[in-house]
Copies of this chain bind each other. A is one copy, B any other.
Amino acid sequence: MAENLLEELVEGLRCLPGVGRKSAQRMALYLLERNRRGGEKLAQVLSDAMSRIEHCKQCKNFTESELCEICSNYKRDASLICVVESPADVLAIENSGAFEGHYFVLMGQLSPLDGIGPEELGLDTFETRLQSQQIREVILATSSTIEGEATAHYLRELIEKYQIPVTRIAQGVPIGGELEYIDSGTLARSINERRKIEY
């Protein structure tokens, strides 16, 4: 038990990822000295968010509503579903501006040894969606790791049953990436999957 309220605040801030004792102290003192209003607002929104944010009934992304903003946005293409592992991936793709469809967020990867099977990832809900909605394409955007690939493989077989076209996001050299710093696996793949340049 911390001995005083400032100490408790420092300890509390350490629950944030990447925040050690020194940073937590700096944050606590900064808020007390210069931004109590910001600290109060943060306390309020943090409390609200922890209690009210749940998972979207359709895509499992975080939302405080029944359906998230993406699922309930009629301007987006509901016949195109991008499957990702986490809400962070949704944010990353949204920031890229390259996608106007819907999502399905696994909230993890298949990992039978850890007891994470299709049911834990909500794939029953996902399958119902494939059956009941008009889907023209599913994009698999799981990680390029062994677990991510295994998850993508399982999904491909599941979707195949419904004769829905499946794609996998392209793998290769990141834009702006210098060749000499890229791992050889990625490099090999980017060479093997090279595309013809159209004139």
Interface residues of chain A, those whose CB is within 8 Å of chain B, are 3-6, 8-9, 11-13, 15-18, 23, 25-33, 35-36, 38-53, 62-64, 69, 86-88, 91, 107, 180
A45 and B86 contact, CB distance less than 8 A: no
Given A15-B42, A46-B9, also A29-B86 (CB < 8 A): yes
B46→A50 contact, CB < 8 A: no
Contact A45 B88 (CB under 8 A): no
Contact A44 B42 (CB under 8 A): no
Q: Is the Cβ of B49 less than 8 Å from the Cβ of A87?
A: no
Cβ contacts under 8 Å, A62 to chain B: 6, 29, 32
A79 to chain B, nearest CB (A): 24
Question: Judging by beta carbons under 8 Å apart, are B15 and A48 in contact?
Answer: no
Q: Are B31 and A50 in contact (CB under 8 A)?
A: yes
* Identity of the chain B residue whose Cβ is nearest the Cβ of A5 in the assembled complex: B64
| A47 near B44: Cβ-Cβ < 8 Å | yes
State whether A25 touches B91 (Cβ < 8 A): yes
B43 touches A15 (CB 8 A): no
CA distance in complex: A15, B8 (Å): 19
Q: Which residues of B contact A45 (CB under 8 A)?
A: 5, 8-9, 11-12
Task: From the candidates B8, B26, B35, B88, name the one contacting A49 in the complex (CB within 8 A).
Answer: B8
Q: Which of B18, B31, B35 contacts A23, CB < 8 Å?
A: B18
A150 to B: closest C-beta gap in Å: 21
Q: How close is A63's CB to chain B, nearest CB, in angstroms? A: 7
Q: How far is the CB of A35 from chain B (nearest CB, A)?
A: 6
